[in-house]
Amino acid sequence: MALTVSEFERAYKEEVLQLFAESWQTASLDQQFAALASLVKRYSASDWSQTKQAVDHNNEKQIYYFSIEFLPGRMLATNLLNLGILTTVERAFKEMGLNFKRVLGMEVDPGLGNGGLGRLASSFLDAMASIGINGNGNGLRYQTGLFKQDFLNGYQVELPDDWLRNGYVWETRKIERAVVVRFGGEVNLLPSADGRLLAQYRHTENVLAVPYDIPQIGYRNGHVNTMRLWQAEPPAMGQPLTVAQREEISAISQSLYPDDSTEAGRRLRLRQEYFLVSAGLQSIVRHYRKTHQDFTQFAQTVAVHINDTHPAMAIPELMRLLLDEVRLDWDSAWAITVQVMSYTNHTLLQEALETWSIDLFAPLLPRIYQIIQEIDHRFRSAYHDADPALIDSIAPLGHNMVRMAYLAVWGSHAVNGVAALHTRLLEESVLSGWYQLVPERFSNQTNGITLRRWVQLANRPLAKLLDKTIGSDWRRSPLAIEALQPFADQPKFLHKLAAAKLKNKRSLAAYVKRTVGLSIATDAMFDVQIKRLHAYKRQLLHLLRIIDQYQTLKAGLAGGPKYVHIFAAKAAPGYYYAKEIIKAINATADLINHDPEVNQQLQVAFLPNYSVSLAERIIAAADVSEQISLAGKEASGTSNMKLMATGAVTLATMDGANIEIYDAVGAANMMTFGLSSEQVLQHQRNFDYSARDLFERDPRIHRIVSALIDGTIPGIEVEGQDIYQSLIQYNDEYFVLADLKAYLDAGARLDELYLRPEAWGKMVVANLAASGRFSSDLTVAGYARDIWHVTPENQVNRH
């Protein structure tokens, strides 16, 4: 939008006055934030309304991205950038003598997700708006988000995230769009006038689903989509409810499950999933009916995307609506459902594949269960010629279980994994039966990231340098950053690049000082591992390298570059082993940071409360990106992309999207090591891996691992023992010791390169130049083409 500095200033001052009866000079930071955000909302309102009108008017297809998690991050800077008024507003704030950065920092960072899957969902919403497709989010408005993490004596403590305390400026409550979601009770199928059975419900628990809409502004294209979050409330009318009943209802959208891989709190979780799906689909169907006579157009105008299996009940729920309310016959309803639905899988971990026991499921969702039984029955009949053992092993209903992934594949026309290796492993293992049956449904859609957020906003020094060096095309066309490649050989440019990095390191160092009181050396290599804490992600492997560096320094054998190791990671509250790793890292950090013999060369900072906004601070300052999961376990990873896109070099196993990064930058610009997923599989099949052998035979490994139990690291008597046992006694499920030697060697090679600034700079440039392909604009363009069958208004091409 067009806006001059003085126009903005006038509007802003008026906004402060109107909202708070306060002069702009005396307004608090909170008020400054609120006034600016409210103005931005106003600026986007007409585009928002026009986008919605155009959709209806032109009968355009809408994508609904159903996800139990969203991690949008702070939205003010993004919205200003996407409206095209960021620099104008910054200039105005400067003129007024106000601190723009601090105002941005007043915004809450909604933690409505655990990690990768939630952040991906939000990045897709940004991308859909930015490439100009009608794509809406459908999620839950959790009253409390993911816990805030603090450390007490090195242990993780979880604090509630009361993110709505001061209201959420971007949302609008749409009570007139509320729908009722029913749980429990009895369903009877009664004959009706049209000769078909009519589902009659009795004694159901009725929950009011109230939508809150949040605008999702596209990048400088006037396109504004909607993220809709549902809140559960007791219905205003009907039977009076007891306090306990009301609480049970509100509990549905009370809190996010702070768990991203293991099963937990089953019943409430199931209620959340159905609530999300039913509310979303009821509102879609209702909207469609307003503008259409019949359902012949439904699959051409609606696509529903299921983000992992948590919303997979969308399949039977859409069937329910089409059968019971629209009154279509089964075959027509099923044909529509399959055309509408598509499903992304995000995990290969067996324990994260969702199943529901029928004992729990059937009484809570009787009609949905009936429909799943029918789906299962018809699936089995459709394949009565096929191998019965195969069919039985992949049918939606298993032994007393609803198998959500299988239901999702059968009810969707498209299924995808999130990186090439992940998709291949899905086809070969987790979903191999399904791949045999319906191979045409499978495709790979490698994840992407919002480069605008990670580069344009979170790495301003780099962004400025890019503008000066190659012009600003890269801001709109991600692949245009390839033009940077020739500068890999220009020492002057490399110098500026290093200066930009140093600036980012200084900002991060100031933050670290402020928050944890540690002064980190800004002339050190910043070696970063940021992601959820999980055994398979192997933060332990990183810790063992740090112990090795410590022991080397203590033995008086210095030599490598100065190091600052930076961790950020939350562990699921019930994940005991992950919490032990946190304690072990913190204890090691404590030891190292306080030892004057080593702390000039080596430091460790574990920053509490990893979140989108903390990631924004860390990533721009990183030199090394640790992506060291056991091969075959990390579906994709996305911090790997964020880090390479902002000038870090990747130290990685051949896992997830690390492989695509490797393909993009080449062997010379990335450091890979360790077992391949095939080798891991082979060891698992042959039972020929012995961690104890490695420990006993390799003196270096022996020395490193012994530090966990011999008192080297004070304060981990229990944790050190447990971790040691997991490696030696229980044979190291994640092959940490198997990869340790290769990891240390790879690290040493990286050290040598780091000590040669030009060699390092070359690698950084190669990474930056190749980063464009990881833009989620391109990823989403792939979904649009292969899965949703819509054409973006703004053309973006991956190839």
Contact set with ligand 26Y (CB under 6 A): 114-117, 120, 259-261, 308, 346-347, 352, 354, 418, 447, 634-638, 656
Query: One of 78, 423, 638, 672 is an active-site residue; which one?
Result: 638
Minimum CB separation from ligand 26Y for residue 71, in Å?
A: 10
Minimum CB separation from ligand 26Y for residue 177, in Å?
A: 28
The reply to whether 532 belongs to the active site is: yes
Residues 245/90, Cβ–Cβ less than 8 Å: no
Nearest to ligand 26Y of 346, 583 (CB atom): 346
Handedness of CA 8, 12, 14, 18 (dihedral sign): positive
Nearest to ligand 26Y of 77, 127 (CB atom): 127
Nearest to ligand 26Y of 352, 736 (CB atom): 352
Minimum CB separation from ligand 26Y for residue 637, in Å?
A: 5
Residue 118 CB neighbours (<10 A): 25
Minimum CB separation from ligand 26Y for residue 530, in Å?
A: 13
Closest CA to 550 of 584, 518, 598, 582: 598
Using DSSP's 3-state secondary structure scheme, residue 149 falls into strand
Residues 71/450, Cβ–Cβ less than 8 Å: no
Q: Are strands 649-652 and 624-627 parallel, antiparallel or unpaired?
A: parallel
What HEC string does 458-524 produce?
Answer: CCHHHHHHHHHHHCCHHHCCHHHHHHHHHHHHCHHHHHHHHHHHHHHHHHHHHHHHHHHCCCCCCCC
Q: What is the DSSP letter of 797?
A: -
Minimum CB separation from ligand 26Y for residue 122, in Å?
A: 11
- Residue listed under structure tokens 């016959």: 329
Q: Which helix (H) or strand (E) holds 157?
A: strand 155-159
Nearest to ligand 26Y of 128, 708 (CB atom): 128
Tell me the C-alpha distance between 444 and 360, whole Å.
34
Query: One of 346, 475, 565, 633 is an active-site residue; which one?
Result: 346
- 665 CB contacts (<8 Å, ≥6 apart)? 644, 650, 763, 766, 767, 770
Nearest to ligand 26Y of 324, 634 (CB atom): 634
Query: One of 119, 148, 441, 537 is an active-site residue; which one?
Result: 537
Sheet containing strand 649-652, strands side by side: 602-606, 563-568, 525-530, 624-627, 649-652, 671-672
Query: One of 148, 531, 545, 579 is an active-site residue; which one?
Result: 531
Residue nearest to ligand 26Y (CB): 116
The reply to whether 554 belongs to the active site is: no
Locate all alpha helices (DSSP H) within 131-167, ordered by sequence.
none
- Residue listed under structure tokens 């040493």: 748
Q: What is the DSSP letter of 611?
A: -
Nearest to ligand 26Y of 422, 545 (CB atom): 422
Nearest to ligand 26Y of 156, 444 (CB atom): 444
Minimum CB separation from ligand 26Y for residue 797, in Å?
A: 22
- 572 CB contacts (<8 Å, ≥6 apart)? 114, 258, 259, 260, 261, 262, 532, 578
Nearest to ligand 26Y of 154, 396 (CB atom): 396
Nearest to ligand 26Y of 547, 781 (CB atom): 781
Residues 516/607, Cβ–Cβ less than 8 Å: yes
Minimum CB separation from ligand 26Y for residue 274, in Å?
A: 15
Tell me the C-alpha distance between 616 and 119, whole Å.
13
The reply to whether 638 belongs to the active site is: yes
Minimum CB separation from ligand 26Y for residue 492, in Å?
A: 37
Minimum CB separation from ligand 26Y for residue 636, in Å?
A: 4
Phi and psi of 263, rounded to 5°? -80, 145
Tell me the C-alpha distance between 517 and 225, whole Å.
42
Query: One of 475, 496, 532, 565 is an active-site residue; which one?
Result: 532
CA-based radius of gyration for the chain = 27
Minimum CB separation from ligand 26Y for residue 336, in Å?
A: 27
Minimum CB separation from ligand 26Y for residue 345, in Å?
A: 9
Closest CA to 532 of 110, 180, 212, 118: 118
Tell me the C-alpha distance between 164 and 142, whole Å.
9
Token pair belonging to 367: 């009609």
Minimum CB separation from ligand 26Y for residue 638, in Å?
A: 5
Handedness of CA 693, 736, 425, 352 (dihedral sign): positive
Distance of CA 225 to the CA centre of its chain: 19
Nearest to ligand 26Y of 78, 261 (CB atom): 261
Nearest to ligand 26Y of 132, 311 (CB atom): 311
Query: One of 453, 642, 762, 773 is an active-site residue; which one?
Result: 642
Token pair belonging to 209: 């689903």
Nearest to ligand 26Y of 123, 726 (CB atom): 123
Token pair belonging to 301: 């105008």
- Residue listed under structure tokens 């208004």: 793
Using DSSP's 3-state secondary structure scheme, residue 213 falls into strand
Q: Are strands 205-217 and 179-183 parallel, antiparallel or unpaired?
A: antiparallel
Judge residue 782's burial from the number of C-beta atoms within 10 Å of its C-beta, 0-12 exposed, 13-18 middle, 19 or more buried.
Answer: middle
Token pair belonging to 191: 């004959």
Q: Which helix (H) or strand (E) holds 576?
A: helix 576-593
Phi and psi of 621, rounded to 5°? -95, 0
- Residues assigned a catalytic role: 346, 531-532, 537, 638, 642
